[in-house]
Amino acid sequence: MRLSAFSVVDEYPSDRRPDRLLQVVRLADAVEEGGLSTLWVAEHHFHSGGVSPAPPVLLAALGARTRRIRLGALVSVLPFHNPVELAEQYAMLDRLLEGRLNLGVGSGYIPLEFEGFGVDPQQKREAFDRSLETMLAAFAGKEVRSPAPTASLVRINVLPVQQPHPPIWIAVQRREAIPFVAKRGASLALVPYATLSSQRELTEEVGEYRAHLRPGSRGEVAAALHLYAGEHSDHARHALQRYLDSRLATQSSFYQEKVRRDPAHASAATLERDGWAIFGSPREVAERLRDFAATGVDEVLGIFDFGGLPDDEVRASVTSLGRAFGNDRTSSEPA
């Protein structure tokens, strides 16, 4: 099981903190120094729960800062964008990264973002399917057409280094979608704290994914956990509660529904009890991550920079845990 880092890029403007995006750029140094596999960044719009509206821009900056780690979007929200433009941007990014790009895609889940783009959430799955099909064809150098009614067939003029396309992850928050991801041959990205109550449920979802993978597929499962390795676990618990409060305030729909069913899940203590947050010394966290591997997950997406944790603590947590946990593969290898 690999260890990576995943930044939601949540921001708390009332605190006079350093520029949040530059903190993520500095986080890349720690991810590389600590020997982690990948640094992933989210895409969000119109709220402080995530201030990375253009992942290709941020990933290009991270690529200029790093040499070894892979870099990924988790996720590019396909219904919000023209798929031909997205294919151009991510193909160009893969070229600049010399083949280090991982591409996570999803259909979105925050009502404010759908309202801001004028996208009907009832149509998001159809839009997602059409966009992904167009992007994959464009990456392979095939003729594609933009959604505009009068658009002509075109071929993008920059192709990705990784052919026929960069490794694809699809983010899922509804269990019934898992077989469809597996049958596509795509890898699966999960955020268990938002939807699941136990690691047993996660193990079942991983098993369901494996059972539906098409023969010969190299599909993998990645799951996000909040992690803190250091001397101040009390800081991490306070920051996690702040993060959860912000998720509810931004109407993170799946997490909201989970809390509605059982209000205890609004508590950081509950998430830690359920194993979706692991805090302690580097050795303690590394040992618990090795136990977590029993779920069958291939990659842990460590959310280290959550809830306004101090930048120096975040980077120390990443490097110390990376060294304690160890990674047994070179991250320049496609996942």
User: How high is the pLDDT of residue 328?
Assistant: 40
pTM for the predicted model, two decimal places: 0.95
How is residue 17 annotated by DSSP? Answer: P
Q: What is the CATH number of the domain that holds 231?
A: 3.20.20.30
- Evaluate whether residue 97 is within a structural domain: yes
Mean pLDDT of 85-95: 98
User: How high is the pLDDT of residue 85?
Assistant: 98
Give me the chain's average pLDDT, please. 95
Q: Domain count of the chain?
A: 1
Cis-peptide into 75, omega within 30 deg? yes
Residue 59 or 250, more confident:
59
- Evaluate whether residue 238 is within a structural domain: yes
Residue that has been written with the tokens 């991510």 in this structure: 90
Chain segment 308-320, per-residue pLDDT in tens: 999 999 999 999 9
Share of the chain above pLDDT 70, in %: 96
Which CA distances in Å does 149 have to 145, 152, 153, 196, 251? Answer: 9, 9, 11, 41, 34
Asked if residue 59 lies in contact with residue 73, where contact means CB atoms within 8 angstroms, the answer is yes
- Evaluate whether residue 317 is within a structural domain: yes
- Evaluate whether residue 330 is within a structural domain: no
User: How high is the pLDDT of residue 332?
Assistant: 42
Structural domain span for residue 123: 2-325
Report the helix count and the strand count for the chain, using DSSP H and E. 12, 11
User: How high is the pLDDT of residue 215?
Assistant: 87
User: How high is the pLDDT of residue 148?
Assistant: 87
φ/ψ of residue 167, rounded to 5: -55, 135
pLDDT of 229 higher than 50 = yes
Asked if residue 290 lies in contact with residue 283, where contact means CB atoms within 8 angstroms, the answer is no
* Structure confidence at residue 330 as a pLDDT band (50, 70, 90): very low
Which CA distances in Å does 109 have to 121, 267, 296? Answer: 8, 21, 26
User: How high is the pLDDT of residue 218?
Assistant: 87
- Evaluate whether residue 90 is within a structural domain: yes
pLDDT of 300 higher than 50 = yes
Cα angle vertex 17, ends 14, 22, to 5°? 130
Chain segment 105-146, per-residue pLDDT in tens: 999 999 999 999 999 999 999 999 999 999 999 999 999 999
- Evaluate whether residue 9 is within a structural domain: yes
